[in-house]
Amino acid sequence: MAIVDLIVAKVDAIRDHAGRIRRSGALDGDRFVTDQLVQDAALFNYVQATQAAVDLAAHVVAEARWETPRTMAETFAILAKHGGLDGDLAKHLGAIAGLRNLVVHRYGVVDAGRVQRDLDADLVALERFADAMLAAAPASDGA
109 φ/ψ angles, rounded to the nearest 5 degrees: -85, 130
What's this model's pTM, rounded to 2 decimal places?
0.91
| Torsion-angle region of 142 (φ positive above 0: left; ψ -120 to 50: alpha; else: beta) | left
Is the distance from CB of 115 to CB of 21 less than 8 angstroms?
A: no
- Tens digit of pLDDT for each residue in 100-133? 988 888 766 788 888 899 999 999 999 999 999 9
Compare 51 and 2 and report the one with higher pLDDT.
Answer: 51
Least confident of 10-19, 44-53, 115-124, 133-142: 133-142
Residue type, 2: A
Is CATH 1.20.120.580 what the domain over 3-136 is classified as, yes or no?
A: yes
CA dihedral 121, 124, 126, 129 (to 10 degrees): -130
CA distances in angstroms from 66 to 69, 74, 79, 82, listed in the order given = 9, 12, 9, 8
Domain-by-domain residue ranges, the chain?
3-136
